[in-house]
A and B are shown apart, each in its own frame.
Chain A
Amino acid sequence: NAGVTQTPKFQVLKTGQSMTLQCAQDMNHNSMYWYRQDPGMGLRLIYYSASEGTTDKGEVPNGYNVSRLNKREFSLRLESAAPSQTSVYFCASSDRPSGNTIYFGEGSWLTVV
């Protein structure tokens, strides 16, 4: 019953450092997403992958890159971290990108100092 698994759970970065958040799902879902959650802003979509081999920008893509490595895995990379990227990051997946029930990971808490 793993569902959507994210690593790491917590990370502290210095401004300018890079890092990659990993996400894997074991539900054979076609679509995967990365959201960020900030106080007062709610959840906002960073990038999504409708199916293996495709990725598209969401609402707040600046400063991030993604890779859909295979059907199971979708990673999010911060090339040069900034304090504004301090947030909680959630990976999610769904069977289709048509708003079907979406399953979330437990989140990755990232602090950029």
Chain B
Amino acid sequence: KQEVTQIPAALSVPEGENLVLNCSFTDSAIYNLQWFRQDPGKGLTSLLLIQSSQREQTSGRLNASLDKSSGRSTLYIAASQPGDSATYLCAVYAGGTSYGKLTFGQGTILTVHP
């Protein structure tokens, strides 16, 4: 059974810092991996989607990498801002018989203080 773990569970940093969020998964046979952002009381917003054949994806100040063989992904946020404060979740999709099912990590709660 696929399990997804995110470390750290919570992170508090001053504005302007570069930071890394970690995601690990137990079964490397994944189809893709997504990073999401969730604001309090809101739904999830997809930030980046990395296909299994890709090594990384970038969007603005965000960069996500994927090392499928070691079961790891990192989300790098450059020059953090207070508006980046949210919960960040990663989710893997196995494909095949896991048709339509994403397995989520517990999330990292990020606080960026001015």
Which residues does chain A contribute within 8 Å of B36, judged by CB atoms? 104
Which residues does chain A contribute within 8 Å of B107, judged by CB atoms? 42
A89 → chain B closest CB, angstroms: 11
In the bound complex, how far is the Cα of B80 from the Cα of A16, in angstroms?
A: 47
A45 and B102 contacting across the interface, CB-CB below 8 Å: yes
Which residues does chain B contribute within 8 Å of A106, judged by CB atoms? 41-43
> What is the interface size of chain B, counting residues whose CB is below 8 A from a CB of the partner?
24
A99 and B102 contacting across the interface, CB-CB below 8 Å: yes
B99 and A102 contacting across the interface, CB-CB below 8 Å: no
Chain B, range 1-32, C-beta contacts under 8 Å to A = 4, 31-32
Hey, what's the 0/1 contact readout for B40-64 against A, CB within 8 Å counting as 1?
A: 0111111001000000000000000
Most buried by A among B31, B32, B102, B105: B102
Instruction: Give the interface size bracket for A toward B.
Output: 20 to 34
The total of Cβ contacts below 8 Å across the A-B interface reads: 63
Interface status of A19 (Cβ within 8 A of chain B): no
| Residue in A closest to B107 when the chains form the complex, CB atoms | A42
Chain B, range 62-114, C-beta contacts under 8 Å to A = 89, 91, 93, 95, 99-102, 104-107
A43 and B100 contacting across the interface, CB-CB below 8 Å: no
Candidates B41, B43, B100; contact of A105 at CB < 8 Å = B43
In the bound complex, how far is the Cα of B34 from the Cα of A100, in angstroms?
A: 9
Most buried by A among B34, B89, B100: B100
B44 and A100 contacting across the interface, CB-CB below 8 Å: no
A25 → chain B closest CB, angstroms: 12
A96 → chain B closest CB, angstroms: 9
Taking A99-B93, A100-B49, A106-B41 as given, write out 9 further A-B residue pairs in contact, using a Cβ cutoff of 8 Å, ordered by the A residue number.
A45-B102, A48-B100, A48-B101, A50-B99, A56-B99, A58-B101, A99-B102, A105-B43, A107-B41
